[in-house]
Amino acid sequence: MNKNIIEIKNLIKLYDHGNTIALDNLNLEIKKGEFVSIIGPSGSGKSTLLNMLGALDQADEGSINVAGFDLMEKKDFSHFRSKEIGFIFQLHNLIPNLTVSENVQIPMIHTDISDEDMIKRANSILESLNLSSKINQFPTKLSGGERQRVAIARALVNHPSIILADEPTGALDSKTGDVILAVLKKIHKAENVTLILVTHETYVADMADRTIEVRDGQITN
Ligand SMILES: Nc1ncnc2c1ncn2[C@@H]1O[C@H](COP(=O)(O)OP(=O)(O)O)[C@@H](O)[C@H]1O
Ligand SMILES: [Mg+2]
């Protein structure tokens, strides 16, 4: 039986000086290595939840523990983020004036990995995602699916324990989206990483071990 890698109790996140309740006493436990999909209407709090899990923003009340880190502590979580978390967003957020390889090296910049190893690791992960021929290209020269594969490479390069994917196929046509989902599913199997995937599509959600539904900032199932 795997341990919980995520434990959230009565989490509250407010915006607009308290006028918007984005997370409303949310409770959630996720086990190490689980593949969980998150569905729910637009504005229900899915992205807010992912941002809390990745310490991109801090909650107002309650408790949130991720990979042994207490994320309610008032401190800088950049070390936690680079070590434990890989983010994949709907829009890939690649930096246009860096090459594909350089984009994938970004998460390793503030680590003790040598420049030479950074290049090696970036290029080897790009190779595993069938992007060897693109390493010296700029992102603008790539297709949508290729860019999203680069974003996946960047999310994986530090071997995170958790991948947070916020509608990663939302900006892709369905065929390309299916390729990206197959890549994520394969990574989940091969690396025993915890994968949390926000999606609109029920057929995508059904690929996960478990689906949770968010409504009005609470989990309803
Ligand atoms: N940075 C922000 N500032 C103000 N309100 C926000 C911010 N982010 C999200 N919200 C609000 O919080 C609620 C939840 O949003 P979000 O988590 O983005 O929903 P979802 O991802 O499910 O569409 C919405 O009412 C949204 O308008
Ligand atoms: Mg969202």
For residue 114, the CA-to-ligand 2 centroid distance in Å is: 36
6 lies in some domain? no
CB 193 within 8 A of CB 31: no
The pLDDT tens digits for 75-104 are 999 989 989 999 999 887 899 999 999 999
Report the C-alpha gap between 145 and 70 in whole angstroms: 35
Name the closest ligand to CA 38. Answer: 1
Query: CA neighbours within 13 Å on the CB side: how many for 180?
Result: 31
65 lies in some domain? no
**Cross-strand partners of 196:** 36, 164
The pLDDT tens digits for 186-216 are 999 988 899 999 998 888 999 999 999 999 9
Query: Three-state DSSP class for 154?
Result: helix
64 lies in some domain? no
Mutation probe of ligand 1 site: the residue of 11, 15, 51, 216 with most atoms within 8 A of C-beta? 15
Q: What is the DSSP string of 75-125?
A: S--HHHHHHHEEEE-SS----TTS-HHHHHHGGGTTSS--HHHHHHHHHHH
Domain count, the chain: 1
71 lies in some domain? no
Question: According to the model, what pLDDT value does residue 96 have?
Answer: 96
Q: Output the domain CATH number for residue 213.
A: 3.40.50.300
For residue 15, the CA-to-ligand 1 centroid distance in Å is: 8
